[in-house]
Structure 1
């Protein structure tokens, strides 16, 4: 608790103290007007870490004085370390810092640290250099001597501030202490002379502040800490989540704020004739007579040729440096850049003015009192051809195509000599997409085969130029990481595992201000089994993932709007390449569609042209806010749009993965093999494990079992993994390499001694005739939990293979008695009886019940097909096998059963299938031979 509390206190010290001044720390008594808390009233015994937190602020003429008195307990070694050094920072041109007391309260005694001779040491350091900020601030530090765990440290100081740029005006904007930070005694007060024109406001969620007039002073006091603010739902505008503050100012209006700052942005003689800046003006004027083009060139000049550096020295908090100085030094902050841009525009005959904005919480500006502290940024507002343009010299990437984009600041205060009130920044949809994505999904290898993807992302405006700047400074490894990040974003919409990257490139065009990222890779097949078909949904389209789930269920939330963000335009183009020799793909959904929801308009166009399906979508949004009452209707519109997303249905004749070891299909997957080789080679040898496992999975899925085993060999050599041992063991079993498979599963159990690894090993031991070992292993790992049913079913198989067929059936039927509601156990009984030719008298009744109550029709139909074979009824077996394959065409064991039955019925095409299975999956053939399919 000590470390956390100390960090909170240090934060409070920083946020409650305005900018300071004076080259040296002063020492003296507290201001006569300050109500100094009696030390005897400080609670040093309770568990509250912050014993005292007293902030008193006074406006007197042009000066603001802040008196702070605080005491906090050092209850642990951590809090002693964190809070044992007192630090204050200030600027040398605003006022004074006076320390009144530094005391240690210990066992009822007061140790006066200052009286003992300790003094603050003054340092000059720029803490904001990494953020391109200098302000000339001084830092005073004092390591408190003699502190002990259990002490209470009390520090009191006052600061005076007088800012000449405010022309005699004063402003206060002080955060208020809020739970869960607790305090023994805490308050914040603001006072000013009775009759002075001072406005004040406390909020949000402050409750009642006490207000009084005494001895000629008007005082407002807020008791602290305030209650913890009620939780806000997601998506609310920032004005509903900002922390509570107390504001006070003698600015009468926004118009007065505007007038006070107007002289700072005067442009008279800002660009002297014959100066270097005048030459830049002439160059822009010669480039084009079009005012909008000139404005774009001027903005680009300021953005590209002047780096950002905030200079807060010598009044620089509000005073911009001169344009000529900015151009010579080639750096400046928002004030300097805006004044330079304004001067350029006016010299080019373009009407413009500087406006103040709030960069992060612009929607809350109207809730603030009129004062400069309501803003933290300035930009330029230009009028060209009757259209308003908002030009930010500190932004990047502004070109003619993007100059019309509107910033997300919501409100602005024009800086004018005659004064101006707040104006709203009307959003405007960008002329060109801020983000354009073109994705080519190559499914020409087939519906069961991973897709090759090429995704091209084009970023314009600030997004493009920021990426361009990052590229200009990135190393080869950093560029590779950037490509991987783009791939993760692009491929993540297509595959849960994100896919593999095979190649990529990134480039920036400074003339257009656009950056382009191209990533290539492999993702899982985009066709999934659905209702007995293979279907590909256009999941790459953002409309496929629309959601307006904003909770407004609480009574206090009913009227809270939704923040829809800034105006934007995006475009998505998705092209799907299909097997040219597989006709019959059919589109679904609505390829051509237009809809609007929550201020966003979506226009979609699509076409299936032979073996090529192309869909494009453009999203145009104004942003802004959505009223809470409109959420249900707009959510319904978004859902309807999502439900119209196009999809493709594959023909039932589409080639399935189990056939791909046939020569006719090997050519199809050659490009996929090449892509996996590129993905593996892209990583250092020691980091290729994940890519090798991915290729092994692909090869196993297409029944290149030897190739898959070779990949698992390499992956395991890089780092043993239980899952990889299990998967390699399964493949070896498919190749009838039973002993080698058992060895792999034994290694898996060593690495991960759990029920998940014990079950497949026990099953394989039973298959190999190692009955006693298999049964012992099952007994060891059967914890009678969720896996008990699986344990019993595998034990039944082990018993059957060990010659105890009836005993195994008894175990399965016992499970059915224990769990009569588990319909999967009926299938287990049917499957067991059919394979091991036991319980024939009730077999078809059990199998029929399993089919009638099945949740997985393909599995139980496969089991009943085996039951018909056991009874010698091949015709019925063929009917059930084909019905199962209509639901799950990729069910390989059923494909084998169908081929075996068809051969038994004299169908000539079945012989080739049986020969294929004997060559590719000898382990499967061997296993089913044990079930009587010889």
Structure 2
């Protein structure tokens, strides 16, 4: 069992949901020993007689009561939970309670097991809590000062009711006589039989309270000289909010109670602690550092930058919550001497340095999440979880975070995403808005140079430099210092994997520029080819296609007046360049060369230039933290859609030289640097990273180096044999004409993973090798689902046709046509079978044409109709279909092969080039087509 409240100090994580947060003034009866005593007489005990012990929720009682009096907050909690199952026994079997011994006591009032009519008093039975110091955040350098009392409940069984009642006192040194309390208000559908929260204080104390749903509360009642607020839980569930609403619309329901009249009073009460902590003697080391900085520069901004760098780099982070440290700051001189401190200590040290240099500065409290809600909250210290420093130079605010890293002049003016700050000043201050502004310098600059000189249908070599500034880049400093080669290889593997097919890294280096505050990643390798065949040309496209998204959902009437939160602040710049082949015609650009567009607090600037074979473009995206007002949402949506419609293409010349058009020697010469790069990538990769070897094998198939691909595949099989790699081996062996070995590899793949797709491939290999009955046996044993029935019918028809069972082939195709009469793949299977086997031609044409009309990519369907036209003797129609198919898919080997056959039969010797090209791409075509009486005329 866990207690339901925790302290949320400045410099700590935000309070968890369900936690009770409080803090108060100087220590009263604080101690490290657990006390065992009766509950305070002001509490109102809950009764189990009022709950359904047997059939109600397992949470029988959750009762929270808080008393604010004379600078001390006492928090009482009473829980009763039925242990319904072994999981609940495991969860509730150990009680765990925390408190701050420098601020108060933990008192145990009752630990009871109720078993039927029996009440077992665990404490009277001699059980005692063990006290441990719980520093859960120690690995994040958090020493919050909490103690934890734990008790493994002896004798607890499934079916029992465990009741635990305890209280804590809190008297925080930093708050003086002020007090604060906050209670999370559970909402439906939380299941509990009885739950409530009670908060009380003397009638003569000026106490303020607030909650998100204040209408749930009645006014405090006066009883025995105390004002009392009471609320039954759970309350009604809050209305659902859109996920992109500002945080203040989505914050949890919390009751806040405190003695601060306003933000000014809170500011005034905290300021003396920080002013005193910042004072140092003139002969101190801190004063010496201030003088050293002043001697280094006369420029105030430079001095601020140097002081902040000193605090960030030379003082490590450690939250020390001991001795009142959750709100009380550590003295600047002590922080410098110890070289560690939390956000308060670092801020006080920076504040001290700046004031000694005559720079207008003050410490400020901030909330690292949900800060936009601060103006709506009751003024209590618990609203904040972080401290930074505000400096003002030439009328401009600079928000300085000593716990951050790598702040330099270039990003000194960046505004963190905290929305509001509370300056701590002697005269007091209201909340101050942290007005956002565009980042002056990119957080990341990426420079990428790609080299397409080998060909625009080949993967390019690339050289990448990524500079990451500020805290994100500082994370690379340790990697740069360690020089861990295995870590670098792991990083390289991640980049290659995210790049996609063809990507491989030959080298990677990480360094850190201390002066710029930038982590630098330098990388070389092979990138996936980004040219795509579209509209009859190869195009390197920049089409946003929804990349810039602003489409908030405000369709519900109750959401219409809710603004949209925009992310930020961020700024990213990409400097991209490409080298194009020098043996081709002119590349042309479409779309605008420059772009300056804005939508929803985001701006995009693009500049593109082309000179000869070099194309360069700069893209900069700036996001600004803020909101879009409800009345502006439609306008900003339109702006985003307009931006997404902008399309820019780099268009290759119409007469390009494809890799399959080159003789093997010339292709080998052009691709030698790429192969060499893949060799480097294989050598560089970690022993268990097989991706570079896979990419090299894949590339070798793309340049028709079947022997080289087979060697790589065999290496892969020796290191990581899988069904997919055996299937791949079978395909390469088939291209080499080694059919018997291909069948063996395909069979092994199927044995390892009985995938139907592999079975279809194996059956065709067997059938074209003359083993037709064996092929039919393979197919007839398969379990075929609806999604695979079309491919099955096509494969079965081919195998049956080869076995001379034409009627069986037509029967299975006919059933598919009846079931799926508009499916382009089914229609094409029927058309292809008729053309390939030269049967049923008289009724083929309507089916073939319908397949083309229904298809999304009609190239295979055009190829099938061309075969039918060829069988019918209409060579002109066949040529038209083949030309159309190759316009859509230039590398369609079957279309090139048939076109070569037709051209040669027509006396066009250029057909030999088509045949040679087709067989370069798919060498197995010659043998397969010959089975059907299709061979080029010699």
Over 3 Å counting, the alpha-carbon distance change for 1:841 and 1:394 in structure 2 is closer
Contact 2:217 2:230 in 1 (8 A): no
Contact 1:572 1:616 in 2 (8 A): yes
Displacement of 1:199: 1.0
Q: Residue 317 of structure 1 corresponds to which residue in structure 2?
A: 326
Higher mean C-alpha deviation, range 465-474 or range 375-384: 465-474
Higher mean C-alpha deviation, range 278-287 or range 640-649: 640-649
Higher mean C-alpha deviation, range 8-17 or range 582-591: 8-17
Displacement of 1:299: 0.7
Over 3 Å counting, the alpha-carbon distance change for 1:559 and 1:17 in structure 2 is closer
The correspondence of residues 435-474 of structure 1 with structure 2, limited to 5 A, is: 435-469=444-478, 471-472=480-481
Alpha-carbon distance in structure 2 between the residues aligned to 1:37 and 1:717: 71
Displacement of 1:688: 4.5
Contact 2:667 2:703 in 1 (8 A): no
1:529 aligns to 2:533 (yes or no) = yes
Higher mean C-alpha deviation, range 709-718 or range 868-877: 868-877
1:606 aligns to 2:608 (yes or no) = yes
Partner SS, residue 716 of structure 2: helix
Contact 2:660 2:920 in 1 (8 A): no
Alpha-carbon distance in structure 1 between the residues aligned to 2:819 and 2:198: 73
Contact 2:899 2:914 in 1 (8 A): no
Specify which of 567, 571, 593 is matched with residue 569 of structure 1: 571
Partner SS, residue 796 of structure 2: helix
The correspondence of residues 766-781 of structure 1 with structure 2, limited to 5 A, is: 766-781=767-782
Displacement of 1:255: 0.2
Q: Residue 523 of structure 2 corresponds to which residue in structure 1?
A: 519
Contact 2:112 2:119 in 1 (8 A): yes
Partner SS, residue 310 of structure 2: helix
TM-score, normalising length from structure 2? Answer: 0.93
Contact 2:278 2:332 in 1 (8 A): no
Contact 1:56 1:66 in 2 (8 A): yes
Q: Residue 398 of structure 1 corresponds to which residue in structure 2?
A: 407
Q: Residue 364 of structure 1 corresponds to which residue in structure 2?
A: 373
Q: Residue 334 of structure 1 corresponds to which residue in structure 2?
A: 343
Q: Residue 549 of structure 1 corresponds to which residue in structure 2?
A: 551
Q: Residue 175 of structure 2 corresponds to which residue in structure 1?
A: 166
Over 3 Å counting, the alpha-carbon distance change for 1:326 and 1:397 in structure 2 is same
Displacement of 1:33: 1.0
Higher mean C-alpha deviation, range 240-249 or range 860-869: 860-869
Over 3 Å counting, the alpha-carbon distance change for 1:34 and 1:479 in structure 2 is same
Alpha-carbon distance in structure 1 between the residues aligned to 2:622 and 2:818: 61
Contact 1:96 1:159 in 2 (8 A): yes
Q: Residue 617 of structure 1 corresponds to which residue in structure 2?
A: 619
1:237 aligns to 2:246 (yes or no) = yes
Displacement of 1:249: 0.6
Over 3 Å counting, the alpha-carbon distance change for 1:854 and 1:175 in structure 2 is closer
Deviations 1:180-210 (A, max 9, x none): 4321211111111225321111225984456
Q: Residue 591 of structure 1 corresponds to which residue in structure 2?
A: 593
Q: Residue 72 of structure 1 corresponds to which residue in structure 2?
A: 81
5+ residue gaps, structure 1, are none
Alpha-carbon distance in structure 2 between the residues aligned to 1:8 and 1:49: 17
Displacement of 1:621: 3.0
Displacement of 1:479: 3.6
Contact 1:660 1:702 in 2 (8 A): no
Q: Residue 905 of structure 2 corresponds to which residue in structure 1?
A: 904
Q: Residue 274 of structure 1 corresponds to which residue in structure 2?
A: 283
Partner SS, residue 694 of structure 2: helix
Displacement of 1:395: 1.0
Q: Residue 509 of structure 1 corresponds to which residue in structure 2?
A: 513
Contact 2:22 2:382 in 1 (8 A): no
Displacement of 1:807: 5.1
Alpha-carbon distance in structure 1 between the residues aligned to 2:846 and 2:146: 89
Alpha-carbon distance in structure 2 between the residues aligned to 1:224 and 1:165: 32
Partner SS, residue 907 of structure 1: coil
Alpha-carbon distance in structure 1 between the residues aligned to 2:837 and 2:491: 57
Alpha-carbon distance in structure 2 between the residues aligned to 1:125 and 1:865: 78
Over 3 Å counting, the alpha-carbon distance change for 1:740 and 1:210 in structure 2 is farther
Q: Residue 793 of structure 1 corresponds to which residue in structure 2?
A: 794
Over 3 Å counting, the alpha-carbon distance change for 1:870 and 1:136 in structure 2 is closer
1:757 aligns to 2:761 (yes or no) = no
Displacement of 1:667: 2.3
Alpha-carbon distance in structure 2 between the residues aligned to 1:583 and 1:749: 47
Deviations 1:561-616 (A, max 9, x none): 22213323221122122222122322222221111111122221002222222111
Alpha-carbon distance in structure 1 between the residues aligned to 2:279 and 2:263: 26
5+ residue gaps, structure 2, are 7-14, 24-28
Contact 2:479 2:510 in 1 (8 A): no
Q: Residue 109 of structure 1 corresponds to which residue in structure 2?
A: 118
Contact 2:595 2:607 in 1 (8 A): yes
Deviations 1:8-35 (A, max 9, x none): 8999999237579313222221111110
Alpha-carbon distance in structure 2 between the residues aligned to 1:869 and 1:498: 38
Alpha-carbon distance in structure 2 between the residues aligned to 1:783 and 1:141: 60
Displacement of 1:125: 5.0
Higher mean C-alpha deviation, range 908-917 or range 181-190: 908-917
The correspondence of residues 843-882 of structure 1 with structure 2, limited to 5 A, is: 843-844=844-845, 846-851=847-852, 854-882=855-883
Alpha-carbon distance in structure 1 between the residues aligned to 2:482 and 2:542: 36
Partner SS, residue 68 of structure 1: strand
Over 3 Å counting, the alpha-carbon distance change for 1:196 and 1:769 in structure 2 is same
Higher mean C-alpha deviation, range 587-596 or range 72-81: 72-81
Over 3 Å counting, the alpha-carbon distance change for 1:764 and 1:255 in structure 2 is same
Q: Residue 296 of structure 1 corresponds to which residue in structure 2?
A: 305
Q: Residue 9 of structure 2 corresponds to which residue in structure 1?
A: none
Alpha-carbon distance in structure 1 between the residues aligned to 2:492 and 2:831: 53
Q: Residue 422 of structure 2 corresponds to which residue in structure 1?
A: 413
Aligned residues: 922
Displacement of 1:287: 0.6
Partner SS, residue 475 of structure 2: helix
RMSD of the TM alignment (CA)?
2.7
Displacement of 1:323: 1.0
Partner SS, residue 220 of structure 1: strand
Contact 2:486 2:686 in 1 (8 A): no
1:926 aligns to 2:935 (yes or no) = no
